[in-house]
Amino acid sequence: MLERELIALLERADLDSTVLFLDGYADLSEVDEVFDVIVPVEEWTHEQGKHGGAEYSVRYPDAFEPCDEEYTDVTHVAQRVALITNGPTNYRRRGLSERQGS
């Protein structure tokens, strides 16, 4: 989902609504409140391909490094991301830069 799509959907919500996160396949009683939003300065890598014949897709804040021969059909692109968390993360402890609000 792109940020513009998220904002368009959130425009329908009451501004005093509590924002909750529901993980895939979770029961409705397993929601978490959104804890933080982090907007990294640097682009992240979106890598996808096959490993041992199984498809995979992963995003990470580091530059792409070629994989071993068990990885096939690997593609990678740099992309801007926004992170929505449901609790403390190691993002700031790793010293990664983030865009500050105005």
Please choose, from the candidates 82, 86, 56, 91, the residue with its C-alpha nearest in 3D space to the C-alpha of residue 70.
56
The Cα–Cα gap between 72 and 36 comes to: 36
Please choose, from the candidates 1, 94, 92, the residue with its C-alpha nearest in 3D space to the C-alpha of residue 39.
92
Q: pLDDT 10s digit of each residue in the chain, 102 long?
A: 999 999 999 999 999 999 999 999 999 999 999 999 999 999 999 999 999 999 999 999 999 998 898 999 999 999 999 999 998 889 988 888 898 875
Sheet containing 44-51: which strands, arranged edge to edge?
54-60, 44-51, 71-79
Using a cut of 0.85, tell me whether the model's pTM lies above it. Answer: no
What is the separation, in whole angstroms, between the first and last Cα of the chain?
24
The Cα–Cα gap between 4 and 36 comes to: 18
